[in-house]
Structure 1
Amino acid sequence: MKQRLLGFSAALPRDTRDTLFLLAVIAWVMLMQVQHIPWWCSALTTGVLLWRASLALRGKPLPGWPWRVGLLLVTVTATWFTHKTLLGRDAGVTLIVVLLALKTLELRARRDAFVVFFLGFFTLLTHFFYSQSLLTAAGILIALLGLLTAVVNAHMPVGRPPLLQMVGIAARMAALGAPIMFVAFMLFPRLSPLWGMPGDSTESRMGLSGNMRVGQLAELALDDRIALRVRFDGSPPPQRELYFRGPVLTSFDGVDWKPLQSAFPAYMELQADLKVSGDPVRYEVTLEPTMRPWLLMLEATTSAPDLPNYRPFMTPELQWLTRRPITELLRYRAESHTAFRHGPLLPSLALEDQTTLPPGFNPRTLALAQSMRKEFGTGPQSAPALIEATLARLRTGGYSYALDPGVYGRHTADEFWFDRKEGFCEHIASSFVILMRALDIPARIVTGYQGGELNVVDGYWVVRQRDAHAWAEVWLEGRGWVRVDPTGAVAPGRTGSVERLRTPQGAIATALGTIDPTLVQRMRDAWDAVNNGWNQWVLNYTQGRQLDLLRNLGFESPSWTDLAYVLIGVVVAVSLAGVAWTLWERQQHDPWLRTLARVRRRLAATGLTAAEHSTPRELARVASAHFGDNDFTRQLGAWLLRLEALRYAPRSGDTLESLQSELRQIAWPARATR
Structure 2
Amino acid sequence: MRLPLLSALARLPREARDTLFLLAALAATALPHISHLPLWCSALTAAVLLWRGRLAWRGAPLPGRRSLLLVLLLTLVAGWASHRSLFGREAGITLLVVLMALKTLELHARRDAFVVFFLGFFLVLTQYFYSQSLLTALWSLACVWALLSALVLAQMPVGQPHLALAARQALRTTLWGLPIMVLLFLLFPRIGPLWGLPSDAIGRTGLSDKLQFGAMSEIANDDSIALRLRFEGARPPGAQLYLRGPVLSQFDGKTWLPRSDKGTAIGMPEAARLAVKPEGEPLRYEMTLEPLRLPLLPVLELGAEAPGSPLQIDELTLTRDRELVWQADRPITERLRLRQRAWLQSSSGVGARPGDLAPYLQLPAGLNPRLLDWARTLRDTKFSGDQQAGAEQLAGALLDHIRHGDFIYTLAPGRYGEVTPHALDEFWFDRRLGFCEHYASAFVIAMRAMGVPSRLVSGFQGADAELQDGDVVVRQSQAHAWAEYWAPGLGWRRADPTAAVAPERVLRGQVLRPPPGLLAGALGQVDPQLWTRLRGAWETLDHRWQQWVLNYSRGDQFRLLEQLGWQQADWQALGQASAAVIAALASAAALWSAWSSRPHDDWSRQRAFIVRRLRRLGLPAEPHQGPRQWTEMLRLQYGDRAAALAALLLALDAERYGPAAAPAPRWGWGWRWRRMFRQALRQARTPD
Q: Give the TM-score taking structure 2 as reference length.
A: 0.84
Change (3 A) 1:616 1:207: farther
Q: Is 324-333 or 269-278 further displaced after alignment? A: 269-278
Q: Report the 3-state secondary structure (helix = DSSP H, G, I; strand = E; otherwise coil) of the residue aligned with 1:301.
A: coil
Distance 1:358 1:191 in 2: 48
Q: Is 299-308 or 72-81 further displaced after alignment? A: 299-308
Which residue number corresponds to residue 614 of structure 2? none
> Contact between 2:274 and 2:352, CA under 8 Å: does it hold in 1?
no
Change (3 A) 1:259 1:9: same
Which residue number corresponds to residue 373 of structure 1? 379
Distance 2:43 2:656 in 1: 70
Which residue number corresponds to residue 244 of structure 1? 243
Per the TM alignment, residue 8 of structure 1 is displaced from its structure 2 partner at its CA by: 2.5
Which residue number corresponds to residue 64 of structure 1? 64
**What CA deviation, in whole Å up to 9, does each residue of 1:587-613 have, x standing for no partner?**
47458858999xxxxxxxxxxxxxx99
Per the TM alignment, residue 5 of structure 1 is displaced from its structure 2 partner at its CA by: 4.6
Which residue number corresponds to residue 85 of structure 1? 85
Distance 2:447 2:475 in 1: 30
Per the TM alignment, residue 132 of structure 1 is displaced from its structure 2 partner at its CA by: 1.4
Which residue number corresponds to residue 276 of structure 1? 278
Which residue number corresponds to residue 327 of structure 1? 333
Change (3 A) 1:563 1:19: same
Equivalent residues in 2 for 1:76-115, closer than 5 Å: 76-115=76-115
- Does 1:198 find its partner at 2:196? yes
Distance 2:544 2:23 in 1: 34
Per the TM alignment, residue 615 of structure 1 is displaced from its structure 2 partner at its CA by: 6.3
> Contact between 2:467 and 2:473, CA under 8 Å: does it hold in 1?
no
Distance 2:649 2:30 in 1: 55
- Does 1:442 find its partner at 2:440? no
> Contact between 1:305 and 1:333, CA under 8 Å: does it hold in 2?
no
Which residue number corresponds to residue 607 of structure 1? none
- Does 1:521 find its partner at 2:532? yes
Change (3 A) 1:61 1:489: same
Change (3 A) 1:439 1:95: same
Which residue number corresponds to residue 350 of structure 1? 356
Which residue number corresponds to residue 604 of structure 1? none
Distance 1:617 1:161 in 2: 38
Count of aligned positions? 619
**What CA deviation, in whole Å up to 9, does each residue of 1:129-161 have, x standing for no partner?**
222121111111111111111111111101121
Which residue number corresponds to residue 143 of structure 2? 143
Q: Report the 3-state secondary structure (helix = DSSP H, G, I; strand = E; otherwise coil) of the residue aligned with 2:566.
A: coil
Change (3 A) 1:99 1:544: same
Change (3 A) 1:269 1:46: same
Q: Is 536-545 or 554-563 further displaced after alignment? A: 554-563
Per the TM alignment, residue 211 of structure 1 is displaced from its structure 2 partner at its CA by: 1.4
Equivalent residues in 2 for 1:489-568, closer than 5 Å: 489-497=500-508, 499-568=510-579
Distance 2:602 2:514 in 1: 60
Q: Is 462-471 or 47-56 further displaced after alignment? A: 47-56
**What CA deviation, in whole Å up to 9, does each residue of 1:501-554 have, x standing for no partner?**
124211221121122121111111101101111111111112222122222223
Q: Report the 3-state secondary structure (helix = DSSP H, G, I; strand = E; otherwise coil) of the residue aligned with 2:333.
A: coil
Q: Report the 3-state secondary structure (helix = DSSP H, G, I; strand = E; otherwise coil) of the residue aligned with 1:245.
A: strand
> Contact between 1:346 and 1:478, CA under 8 Å: does it hold in 2?
no
- Does 1:7 find its partner at 2:18? no
Query: Which of 479, 499, 519 is equivalent to 1:488?
Result: 499
Q: What is the identity percentage for the equivalent residue pairs of Structure 1 and Structure 2?
A: 46
Per the TM alignment, residue 275 of structure 1 is displaced from its structure 2 partner at its CA by: 0.9
Which residue number corresponds to residue 660 of structure 1? none
Which residue number corresponds to residue 292 of structure 1? 294
Which residue number corresponds to residue 389 of structure 1? 397
Change (3 A) 1:592 1:469: farther
- What are structure 2's unaligned runs of at least 5 residues? 609-622, 630-647, 665-688
Q: Report the 3-state secondary structure (helix = DSSP H, G, I; strand = E; otherwise coil) of the residue aligned with 1:292.
A: coil
Change (3 A) 1:355 1:121: same
Distance 1:506 1:591 in 2: 64
> Contact between 1:89 and 1:199, CA under 8 Å: does it hold in 2?
no
Per the TM alignment, residue 620 of structure 1 is displaced from its structure 2 partner at its CA by: 13
Change (3 A) 1:595 1:353: farther
Q: Which amino acid aligns with 2:276?
A: L
Change (3 A) 1:546 1:565: same
Which residue number corresponds to residue 467 of structure 1? 478
Query: Which of 581, 587, 590 is equivalent to 1:579?
Result: 590
Per the TM alignment, residue 411 of structure 1 is displaced from its structure 2 partner at its CA by: 2.1
Which residue number corresponds to residue 644 of structure 1? none
Which residue number corresponds to residue 208 of structure 2? 209
Equivalent residues in 2 for 1:23-34, closer than 5 Å: 23-34=23-34
Q: Report the 3-state secondary structure (helix = DSSP H, G, I; strand = E; otherwise coil) of the residue aligned with 1:532.
A: helix
Distance 2:13 2:607 in 1: 35
Q: Give the TM-score taking structure 1 as reference length.
A: 0.86
Per the TM alignment, residue 120 of structure 1 is displaced from its structure 2 partner at its CA by: 1.4
Q: Is 424-433 or 268-277 further displaced after alignment? A: 268-277
Change (3 A) 1:503 1:226: farther
Question: Over aligned residue pairs, what C-alpha RMSD do you find?
Answer: 3.0
**What CA deviation, in whole Å up to 9, does each residue of 1:232-258 have, x standing for no partner?**
222221111111111101112222221
> Contact between 1:14 and 1:160, CA under 8 Å: does it hold in 2?
yes
Distance 1:126 1:326 in 2: 20
Q: Report the 3-state secondary structure (helix = DSSP H, G, I; strand = E; otherwise coil) of the residue aligned with 1:91.
A: helix
Q: Which amino acid aligns with 2:17?
A: R
Distance 1:326 1:33 in 2: 23
Change (3 A) 1:262 1:101: closer
Distance 2:509 2:327 in 1: 33
**What CA deviation, in whole Å up to 9, does each residue of 1:245-290 have, x standing for no partner?**
1110111222222111369998797853211122222222221222
Q: Which amino acid aligns with 2:38?
A: P
Which residue number corresponds to residue 617 of structure 2? none
Q: Which amino acid aligns with 1:197?
A: W
> Contact between 2:628 and 2:653, CA under 8 Å: does it hold in 1?
no
> Contact between 1:272 and 1:315, CA under 8 Å: does it hold in 2?
no
Per the TM alignment, residue 94 of structure 1 is displaced from its structure 2 partner at its CA by: 0.8
**What CA deviation, in whole Å up to 9, does each residue of 1:468-519 have, x standing for no partner?**
1111111111111111111111111111216321242112211211221211
Q: Report the 3-state secondary structure (helix = DSSP H, G, I; strand = E; otherwise coil) of the residue aligned with 2:473.
A: strand
> Contact between 1:41 and 1:98, CA under 8 Å: does it hold in 2?
yes
Q: Which amino acid aligns with 2:122?
A: F
Which residue number corresponds to residue 425 of structure 1? 436
Query: Which of 413, 426, 434 is equivalent to 1:405?
Result: 413
**What CA deviation, in whole Å up to 9, does each residue of 1:413-459 have, x standing for no partner?**
32233222221001000101111111111111111111111553412
